[in-house]
Amino acid sequence: MDMDQSRPSRRGPGGWPGPGDHGPLVLEVAVEGRWDRHLAAAVYRVIRGGLAEGPDAIIFDLGHLIDVLAESAPTWLAARQSTRQWKPPPQLALSLPPTRRLARYLRDVGAHRSLPTFTTVERARTWVLGQRPAAEFHRVEVRTG
């Protein structure tokens, strides 16, 4: 896939539901459980599969992620970086409580400038809808155990 030419097709073999010509596609990825290598691998597969479908936006719901050391931060930053080459790039947003170490870490490194973080999924949806009216949302859950 040549990502700096154009975004991937929504009709790939990844099994993701796509709206076709119905409007913008927004994927919501709920990540639940303790962050470890198994959850990281599962999230990587979901991100890769989801991005292969060429969504207009992805919201990562991290409200039930247990990541006390903010070890997942490189995953979210890498997801943002990997999409910057696409024309136009999909919008990415995170949803997590502001008191979590991950939220503080992302603020401290300035990630909020390119990776908006919201306190609730509903606020992230509102932001996406402001950018992509009439978006069609599809939710996927990734958990451990």
DSSP 23-90: S-EEEEEEEEEE-SHHHHHHHHHHHHHHHHT--SEEEEEEEEEE-TT-TTHHHHHHHHHHHTTSSSPP
pLDDT at 19: 43
Q: Which pLDDT band, with edges at 50, 70 and 90, does 7 fall under?
A: very low
pTM for the full predicted model: 0.79
- Which domains are seen in the chain, by residue range? 25-143 (3.30.750.24)
Residues 6+ apart with CB under 8 A from 105: 70, 73
Over 50: is that where the pLDDT of 63 sits?
yes
Residue 1 confidence class, pLDDT cut points 50, 70, 90: very low
Confidence of residue 135 (pLDDT cuts 50, 70, 90): low
